[in-house]
Structure 1
């Protein structure tokens, strides 16, 4: 029998809103602003119904219980998973023209270049980066470095989107959003979907990861992409995450944020480098 939730039962009063947004913050660091009751109602509606909740108090009790599956589903529901191939385009131009040449220049002999895509959603960003690296090593970097010299760790807080990303399968709509024609050759048609080719896929390792957790298990990276995620955290959490990213980078390592994100006024641990509309943050010797 279909679970029907009446409008009265689905109302979110101020007390429940406060409880829910505080618990969301504790679980994943996301800040739900005042007046954003509609966001919780919209994002949690399906989960509320699927668990036969009769009130938001019931929902909150499940959220603070030991039901880890429910918590995982709630985190996935409240998180933003908007993404596309080569999103915003300009950052990838900066990676091709500035970041990759600089990483090659500072690379230790025989060492891999390690990249972390934090909040990678369903995989379009790390796969875009892998395709870009394949193209760059075939042309500009030819004879000096190969795709085998790169590794990309892609993480997201949602296990569901990580599992989708691992498949490397995308619909026509997903593939067409942002993908330059140059990169069509890195996909094969499988049934009604598009499969990322094995060489591109094998460069990327996907892992479920919460940015509030310790970074120690991740290792060191030469370049970190943490795009369009810090905007959802409060200032203290932003600074904490950025400082821990700083600790993962070697001297001259790079951090890239989203186009609307900035470290100005938050930390002075990075030098800034401007590439047109793109700001790159670089760890430099002497900046602690």
Structure 2
């Protein structure tokens, strides 16, 4: 995939993995308007994966693009410089905004996080250093969060007379429960990687940045051996069922299960199982 050029992001693709690095180390990778704009561009491109063809548009099944290609099988989201994943919003920019501009900035970041959630391949946030405020909220939009030993998480907006504006009041409670989300948001408290893991915010804790990125690549490699259409449909089903009642969620699951039966991957996977051989998924 050709992602183009960026001022605040570095994009690298290798072995079916796209690594998206927020690259403002001098500002601890703070989420300026430019970063948000460029993240939106990247997410737009990533959302074309496996679903750009006419058949995908008409059936709604990921992975039914005319060429059936999946050039990227997973995304790693991280930050440059070693001190921060993303330290938060760009406070210098915020101080110059009026209320209307602030709402526009928040809604722009909401669009980014929703687009990141809808990317049809797994997204792993690799947090090394600070993930505070907007940084924590960006990580929460990923499928998994892997953290290094020196990672720190928090929603410290109340310290500035602000509230979470990039999704923290919604997604944090989905990850760690309502009571703990309230406590972290009301106190503005920071937690380390191990506490974040205990609370269910983080999936894995690794010693170093190198181990962090290697573990994320290994997980994406494992997922890449599975049906890409099934993974994409599973992700969509989970996202759509979040926050719904049990009957509503089960209805979404049943309709997604039905959609899987329209894929070539399902035919190949079930046939391979019966024939006792490894499946070779076409990605359609």
Q: TM-score range by the shorter chain?
A: under 0.3
Normalised TM-score (structure 2): 0.25
Bigger radius of gyration, 1 or 2?
1
Normalised TM-score (structure 1): 0.24
Q: Flag the structure with higher helix content.
A: 2
